[in-house]
Amino acid sequence: MTEVTYYTQDGLDRLKAELHHMKTTGRQQISKAIAEARDKGDLSENAEYDAAKEAQGLHEAKIAKLSTTLSTARLIDESKLDTSKVLALSIVKIKNVKNGSTMSYQLVAESEADLKTGKISVKSPIAKGLLGKSVGDTIEIQVPAGMIEFEILEITR
């Protein structure tokens, strides 16, 4: 059974656009490569044809996976998010208790995660430690560098 994943409107739109591109342009390119390889003669000894057919299989598998992801995707209405505790799509400002540095992260679906823009996966160690907590809570989170203590300063949407 596949699990439900929650997305922002932007993330959902990107997934739909990627699927559309794969089903149209991607399939056309692979079909063209197969036709060109087929025109080169004996298929039993044609490595280009075999490679093109394998690429087609991988492409169709990606389409199937993306279709499944979209079928279980749910859009979160960001205007109705509860900011009293950390949830998926919350923007959380936290402070490292040891060194005093602060950072803000938005908790998003794995496919939307992008550390450069401050978006971390809800499945990451930091996000898992923050989920369900409230402003003022101090939590210890196990990260690759060891145990770090964070204080939640602010929760917004």
Return the domain boundaries, the chain: 5-75, 78-156
Q: Please, are residues 2 and 70 in contact by the beta-carbon 8 Å criterion? A: no
pLDDT given for residue 9 in this prediction: 81
CATH 3.20.20.150 at 5-75, yes or no:
no
CATH architecture of 78-156: Roll (3.10)
Residue 18: closest CA among 87, 90, 66, 89: 66
99-134 pLDDT, tens digit each: 999 999 999 888 888 889 999 998 899 999 999 999
